Homo-oligomer: A and B are copies of this chain.
Amino acid sequence: MGLEIERKFLVHTGKLPALPGLGSKELLRQGYLASDPWVRIRLRSVMDRWRKGYITIKSRGTLVRAEYEYEIPAKDAEELLGFCKGLISKTRYPIRKSSHVWEIDEFHGPLQGLWLAEVELQRENEDLVIPEWVGTEVTEDVRYSNAYLVEYGIPSV
């Protein structure tokens, strides 16, 4: 098991630096095979230079979650996305800032217009330098979880 400690923020897109291009950015397509009260099972197809697939089991929680992730054949991931209730498509740009790597997600399709920034921490109370292009924290706002977004769309407020 891994323990995932992750904070999530809105993004001031006008203040973003130049985003990394091909070779660094990834195109992610993901969906949920199950989104039960206690556990979520995510399928993800990643396209960077190569195509990869992952199945991930996450316990519920916002800041801290148990996470089990396994790489699976890309072809299986594509097929299994067909079993998911809805799909999210987004481009992920990694940006290093001080000692952290921020992942900027630009959503596509029905979620076009939404940008989110995530940063993974080693400890819950770890110091974090917040760049100027990072907006309101939404770590504890379940409406910004991908499982909610795929079902309900962009939150109205």
Contacts and interface: CB of A to CB of B under 8 A. Distances in A.
A70 B68 contact: no
Contact of A34 (B1, B41, B59, B68): B41
Interface residues of A, number: 18
Copies of this polypeptide in the complex: 2
Interface in A26-81: 33-34, 36, 38-39, 41, 55, 57, 59, 66, 68, 70, 72, 76, 79-80
Q: Report whether over half of chain A's contact residues are helix, strand or loop; otherwise say mixed.
A: strand
A72 B39 CA distance: 18
Contacts of A39: 33-34, 83
A60 to B, nearest CB: 10
A36 B76 CA distance: 19
A73 to B, nearest CB: 9
Nearest to A71: B70
Interface of A: 1, 33-34, 36, 38-39, 41, 55, 57, 59, 66, 68, 70, 72, 76, 79-80, 83
